[in-house]
Amino acid sequence: MKDLMGRAIWDYFHNGNTEDLQTETSISELDELPVDYLFRDFEEMNKIEQKALKLSHGKVLDIGAGAGSHSLYLQNERNLDVTALDFSSKSIEVCQLRGIQKAVDKNMLEFSGETFDTILLLMNGTGIFQSLNVIDIYFKKLYSLLNKNGQILIDSTDILYMFDQDEDGGVLIPAGGYYGELDYIVHYKDESEDPIKWLYLDFNTLKNAAENNGFKIEKLIQEDDSYLAKLIKR
């Protein structure tokens, strides 16, 4: 793994200016992702992120922490015990340099030994589930990391709007799988990552998967086609 996202985060932190990241999926063209967006403060975050951070409490695990902006806010402004988790070693190095006291370079499925009151999965947190075929593996892991009365705060987007409609208003979805299962590719400085599986979930599909794995789920906020959900143990 080239860890282009981590390299861009590292370059921006150390050098101030860097080339933008570019991302694309199997159903969308290249899109610019300014690296400074990953360093935004609370006031620059969207309503879904702000809501999740305000609702966070107790001991927090921030999965997919990236540059650590969510963790940094919770640690410094909310005075919470936060662990930033990411499998990008360069991202975790930047988290540490930004002052995050607990930052762990590890894949979520390999992380163990602690449990948490709040688990955050933001910026399309369902993405790491990869596909519906393996989603139960991730839910079982989340269940094991969550305290009895804890909460998971996770966001996603229903990307049905990205597909064409026929003359009758029906949506033309390719056969062969769930429409939110995409290949996601990151480009940086003329290099490209190998495609990774990335999952966008409509709320009802997330609800079914969560309930099948011992959770109760509630939608907390809807912003256009995106939403924030709260999961607790049943």
How far is residue 13's CA from residue 208's CA, in Å, rounded to a whole number?
40
Can you give the residue ranges of every domain in the chain?
A: 4-233
- Res. 166 pLDDT band, cuts 50 70 90: low
Report the first-to-last Cα separation within the chain, whole angstroms: 37
Is residue 141 within 8 A of residue 108, CB to CB? The reply is yes
Which secondary-structure segment (H or E) carries 71? Answer: helix 69-76
Does the structure show a pLDDT above 80 at 174? no
Surface-to-core class of residue 153, CB atoms within 10 Å of its CB (0-12 exposed, 13-18 middle, 19+ buried)? buried
The region that residue 113 occupies, defined by phi over 0 for left and psi between -120 and 50 for alpha, beta otherwise, is left
pLDDT at 163: 79
pLDDT in tens, 42-97: 999 999 999 999 999 999 999 999 999 999 999 999 999 999 999 999 999 999 99
Indicate the average pLDDT of the chain. 94
What is the mean predicted confidence (pLDDT) over 147-152?
A: 98
The region that residue 134 occupies, defined by phi over 0 for left and psi between -120 and 50 for alpha, beta otherwise, is alpha
pLDDT at 42: 98
Give the CA diameter of the chain.
56
- State what percent of residues in the chain have pLDDT above 70: 94
Q: What token pair was written down for 117?
A: 């009151």
One CATH from 3.40.50.150, 3.40.309.10, 3.40.50.10470, 1.10.10.10 for 4-233: 3.40.50.150
Of 97, 92, 73, 71, give the one whose Cα is nearest residue 82.
71
Q: Which of 56-60, 164-168, 179-183 has the lowest mean pLDDT?
A: 164-168
61 or 175: which carries more pLDDT confidence? 61
